[in-house]
Structure 1
Amino acid sequence: MTILVTGARGRVSAAVRSELTERGAAVRAAGRQPEGDAVRLDLAEPGTFKAALDGVRKVFLYAEPSGIGAFLDAARAAGVEHIVLLSSLSAGEKDPESNVIGAFHVAAERALTASGIDWTLVRPGSFATNALQWAPSIRAEGVVPSAFPGTHNAPVHERDIAAVAVRALLDDAHRGATYHLTGPESLSEEQMTGLVARAIGKPVRIEPISREEELARLTRFAGPAIAETLIAYRAEYDGVPAAVRDGVREVTGRPAVPFARWAQEHAADFR
């Protein structure tokens, strides 16, 4: 049995692939711009489905509502039995379709759960790897520009997301389940910056910027709709602790990895 792992260039996919391989599973990596032994798979191009799905019975799938219907049809025809979807905590909010991020993930979830293929939904909150956006300014100047240094997240390690996904792929008891994942504690951006500074052994300071500057910066790499949603979130949680969810322990039996350890493991990215 082959397990297809999509998003081959992503950090979560890399961790999923690594753990599956360590556990002796047959893995095929796939992505839009594959490298190494990965195959090409683009949900917008149905011609890429057949080779990617050949012999596959389980799939780790990044949420992408555009083209997902045709992919799910092809997966069902190819004999895929179970798909683990990397979704988002935003899909479980009270009114998830009120913002572009929640609506995006809800659309992918609904397509999967209506497909007739067994499913597991993995809904992480803020990724610890989001802190890597600070790396260039920390390396260059030792600063983190932020309009909302008091904004809280409960950042989750990519390895924890992968660990939950792998168990869902390998143990049929997780079919039909939805897991909400965060890190073990709520931290402000200022606290996260301090933990990065400790990990790299040099000072890092917050550089205050305006809301408009923050919006312009986010828009450059995420687009205006997502940037507006992220700004609204950060304003809402400025000084407000984020909810901590225990999905990692629920599935793996161990606590989630704290951000301090993530920062130590990724210290080279910030030096």
Structure 2
Amino acid sequence: MIVVTGATGNIGAALVRQLNASGVPLRALTRDANRAQVPSGVEVIEGDPQHTETLKRSLDGADRIFLIPQAVGGTAPVLETARHLGVRHVVLVSSLLAQTHPESFIGRSARKNEQEAQDSGLAWTLLRPWEFASNTLAWAPTIRGEGTVRVPFSGLPSPAVHPSDIAAVAARALSEEGHHTQTYPLTGPQSLTPREKTQAIATAVGRELRFDEYHSPQELRRIADEAPDHTAQGLMVPGVCALESPGALSTVQTVTGSPARTFQQWVHDNSEAFN
């Protein structure tokens, strides 16, 4: 039995569909069962995962867990309960910033979560995704209302990863042997700037979009210099990467046997959000 936390999120919902299609018994843990549009046959556990009783109900009889720390309010209590109830393996969603920018706020938090998984007594697999392609959903309101993407700075090229690819790697790690103690850095197959992402959305929706950068590069540097932790804090704008990326990696194809989905594919899959 596999338990999927964050089952209504971008990764969790895709993972539930993929695991269900392969016939794996699973439970979807969610705070709101009405939002959990899961396939028939998937058991849904509703409740606050920070409550011990909810955790016990969801983990009873399970041997594997897909864990998104943000979905459960932290890793340590979940892992402790999981260990007591006989769960054997955790697949944890971390961040590639734990590797590329470990001293950043997000990098430090990700490393803390990873260490808790490694010290939990469970077998573990770490997923380290880069920026999500779905972060650009934050642009949808101004695209629909004004035909504009408005960001404070243009950002750097970034190989945003399709959430379904994170789910595909997770599905392999949860259902196959050979993934224990593995750490998987995950990116999309191409590095795009925010302006190039805007053009991809414009192509998908069939109309011109304006890209409006309302801070100059000089002002961005000033903001960065004054930020208490300028390697991540204060400069994390949805769809815009202020940090140098590791470049496109081949991990998705190596683990799943299929090429990583492009940003254009993600836009095609979600174009209704921008119309």
Aligned-partner SS, 2:273: helix
Answering whether residue 207 of structure 2 is matched by residue 208 of structure 1, we say no
Per-residue deviation, residues 66-117 of structure 1 (Å, max 9, x unmatched) = 5422221211111101111111111112x51x22211121111100101110
State the match for 1:4 in structure 2: 3
Measured at CA, do residues 235 and 15 of structure 1 come closer, stay the same or move farther in structure 2, by a change above 3 Å?
closer
Residue 11 of structure 1: how far off its partner (Å):
1.2
Measured at CA, do residues 181 and 67 of structure 1 come closer, stay the same or move farther in structure 2, by a change above 3 Å?
closer
Q: Residues of 1 paired with 2:105 and 2:33: CA distance?
A: 27
State the match for 1:57 in structure 2: 63
Answering whether residue 156 of structure 2 is matched by residue 151 of structure 1, we say yes
Query: What percentage of aligned pairs have identical amino acids?
Result: 38
Q: Residues of 2 paired with 1:235 and 1:115: CA distance?
A: 33
Residue 269 of structure 1: how far off its partner (Å):
0.7
Residue 147 of structure 1: how far off its partner (Å):
2.4
Aligned-partner SS, 1:179: strand
Say if 2:96 and 2:130, in contact at 8 Å, map to a contact too.
yes
- Aligned-pair Cα RMSD in Å: 2.5
Residue 58 of structure 1: how far off its partner (Å):
0.6
Say if 1:3 and 1:59, in contact at 8 Å, map to a contact too.
yes
State the match for 2:228 in structure 1: none
Range moving further from structure 2, 192-201 or 99-108:
99-108
Per-residue deviation, residues 152-176 of structure 1 (Å, max 9, x unmatched) = 2111111111100000000121111
Aligned-partner SS, 2:138: helix
Aligned-partner SS, 2:66: strand
Q: Residues of 2 paired with 1:6 and 1:210: CA distance?
A: 38
Say if 1:43 and 1:68, in contact at 8 Å, map to a contact too.
no
Say if 1:160 and 1:256, in contact at 8 Å, map to a contact too.
yes
Measured at CA, do residues 116 and 229 of structure 1 come closer, stay the same or move farther in structure 2, by a change above 3 Å?
farther
Q: Residues of 2 paired with 1:70 and 1:137: CA distance?
A: 40
State the match for 2:186 in structure 1: 181
Aligned-partner SS, 2:125: strand
Q: Residues of 1 paired with 2:19 and 2:45: CA distance?
A: 17
Structure 2 residues not aligned, in runs of 5+ = 37-42, 221-230
State the match for 2:249 in structure 1: 245
Residue 229 of structure 1: how far off its partner (Å):
4.5
Answering whether residue 183 of structure 2 is matched by residue 160 of structure 1, we say no
Q: Residues of 1 paired with 2:232 and 2:33: CA distance?
A: 26
Measured at CA, do residues 69 and 242 of structure 1 come closer, stay the same or move farther in structure 2, by a change above 3 Å?
closer
The aligned runs of 1:5-44 (5 Å cut-off) are 5-35=4-34, 36=36, 38-44=44-50
The aligned runs of 1:64-213 (5 Å cut-off) are 64=70, 67-93=74-100, 95-96=101-102, 98-210=103-215
Query: Which structure has greater helix proportion?
Result: 1
Answering whether residue 264 of structure 2 is matched by residue 260 of structure 1, we say yes
- Compute the TM-score of the two structures, normalised by the length of structure 1: 0.86
Per-residue deviation, residues 32-78 of structure 1 (Å, max 9, x unmatched) = 33435531354432232110111111111002495422221211111
- Compute the TM-score of the two structures, normalised by the length of structure 2: 0.85
Per-residue deviation, residues 232-258 of structure 1 (Å, max 9, x unmatched) = x84454xxx751111101101121111
Say if 2:104 and 2:233, in contact at 8 Å, map to a contact too.
no
Aligned-partner SS, 2:181: coil
Q: Residues of 2 paired with 1:28 and 1:49: CA distance?
A: 12
Matched residue count? 255
